[in-house]
Amino acid sequence: MGDPEIRSYRAGDEVAINEAFNRVFGGQRTLAEWQWKFSAPGALEATMAAWDGDALAAHNGAIPASYHVGDRRVFALQGVDTFSLAALERKREWKNAWVNVMDAFAEHAIRSEVSLLYGFTGPRSISHMVARCRWDSAEPRRIPLLVRETRAAARTLRSSLYQARLVGDNEPMLDILWERVAHRYPAAVVRDAEHARRRFSHHPSVRYHRWLVTRRLSAVPVAFVVFRTDGGICRWADLVWDDHHPGAFELIDHLARRTVVESGAAGEALWIDGDPEVEDRLRACGFEGGFDPSGVVRVVRFLDDSVDPASFAPGYVYTTMADADLV
């Protein structure tokens, strides 16, 4: 009996892939949600799986991303929906299928001139990702989770100098905002208009509240925030902020509190890493917490020797819940 065949996605594979995902992770994801998640150009070509005939043995999905590193933009792939069915199906002959899938994923990335691979994994898989798949170019980084039991608060005088409007799927002002703030981060996923469109529009079951903040009587963007309110919690999915405008941050805090009241959420939660000023302001507004108790970490593999490892030092990579593929 030969090893399972390793290949990229073919039309129709999504049925078995999504069923296996729900079995492994205990989810109820629909095919429509799977299709939304992997709709970016290049995602399906980079998605790899191991097949034993018609049986799925292992899988690793891919989400393409533009990454800001220092003063460069590089092409990256985020590994997602990574799993093996060897133990679940009690198939000893599948024991190497997952590593073979991850090797094929990296080989595809190298051929496609991808500069880095990254992903978020739980504590049980860290050693496999680092030792067996060589996602060890930077120290695995646990991600901070901050939470707040929201209380109503009056709007500050400084925040009244700013205004916010809900934005649609295509908001070109986000390109201008990212150009204003990118220098603050040694490394980050590029948060421009294309990223926002792909990440926060047309989801089949989730509504994102997307706010663009400007000074009053000005069209120049100074902040962008995205909230998700299902599940009884208001999650800050993403935040882009020009730190020259503290009043804009205070307006965002006001918007979050109002969103909690209007949605009936029990509180708020967010990931924040790589921006100590934002974290300090959040804690001053009542957020508290430490590393995410789930134990989730970011792991990285460089495929381009010119990528500066110093940009990925602990606490340097800007990270919000938008970087996680499930929020």
Domain extent for 232: 145-284
What is the pLDDT averaged over residues 266-295? 97
Residue 13 placed within a domain: yes
What is the pLDDT averaged over residues 230-240? 97
Domain co-membership, 106 together with 224: no
Domain co-membership, 302 together with 314: yes
Domain co-membership, 108 together with 227: no
Q: What digits encode the pLDDT tens for the residues 163-179?
A: 999 999 999 999 999 99
Residue 290 placed within a domain: no
The angle, 0 to 180 degrees and rounded to 10, between the axes of the packed helices 246-263 and 276-284 is: 50
What SS3 state is found at 308?
Answer: coil
* The pLDDT of residue 26: 94
- What pTM value is reported for the model? 0.95
Residue 289 placed within a domain: no
Domain co-membership, 199 together with 310: no
Domain co-membership, 256 together with 160: yes
Domain co-membership, 198 together with 155: yes
Domain co-membership, 54 together with 170: no
Residue 291 placed within a domain: no
Q: How many domains does the chain have?
A: 2
253 pLDDT band, cuts 50/70/90, is very high
Q: Is pLDDT of 107 > 80?
A: yes
Domain co-membership, 107 together with 203: no
* The pLDDT of residue 237: 98
φ, ψ of residue 32 in degrees (nearest 5): -65, -40
What is the helix (H) or strand (E) element at residue 257, kind and residue range?
helix 246-263
Q: What digits encode the pLDDT tens for the residues 115-170?
A: 999 999 999 899 999 999 999 999 999 999 999 998 878 899 999 999 999 999 99
Instruction: Write the CA distances from 149 to 231, 255, 267, 268, 285, integer angstroms.
Output: 15, 15, 5, 7, 11
What is the helix (H) or strand (E) element at residue 146, kind and residue range?
strand 145-148
Residue 230 placed within a domain: yes
Report CA torsion sign: 278, 281, 285, 291.
positive
Tokens of 319: 């990270």
Q: Is pLDDT of 19 > 80?
A: yes
325 pLDDT band, cuts 50/70/90, is confident
Q: Domain holding 251: CATH number? A: 3.40.630.30
Residue 106 placed within a domain: yes
For the chain, percent of residues with pLDDT exceeding 70: 99
* The pLDDT of residue 1: 54
Domain co-membership, 271 together with 179: yes
Domain co-membership, 125 together with 155: no
Domain co-membership, 269 together with 149: yes
What is the pLDDT averaged over residues 22-41? 96
Q: Is pLDDT of 259 > 70?
A: yes
Domain co-membership, 57 together with 105: yes
What is the pLDDT averaged over residues 73-100? 95
